[in-house]
Amino acid sequence: MSIQQITPLQLQQKRTQQPDLKILDVREPHEFEFAHIVDSILIPLSLIPLKIEELDRDEDLVVLCHHGVRSMMACRFLAKEGFENLYNLAGGIDAWSVECDSTVPRY
């Protein structure tokens, strides 16, 4: 079970190397609507157990939330379910906005 922290700048670089990298946003729909990373998928934390089969256990998966707490909870759950290539976005969407994409609104 390996959950790695990834910084926004590391994620930005990883996306250039892996254009199809899966990014899972575990915030609520209204948060996602307000601010999100392009091409990320939304599955709120509370729905992950119900929608886990929509995710590929063998792919790299970057998980994010607002600041990194809910995403770490999601990562821990997914790791227990057999996911091995998990990355928690340190600082969440807020850090992404500050460090990589200022067009993403902060809240």
Q: Is 65 a catalytic residue?
A: yes
Task: Give the chain's end-to-end CA distance (angstroms, integer).
Answer: 32
Phi-psi region of 39 (alpha: psi -120 to 50; beta: other; left: phi over 0): left
Please state whether 55 falls in left (phi above 0), alpha (psi between -120 and 50) or beta.
beta
List 62, 65, 72, 74, catalytic entry? 65
Q: How many CA atoms lie within 13 A of 19 on its CB side?
A: 0
List active site positions.
Answer: 65
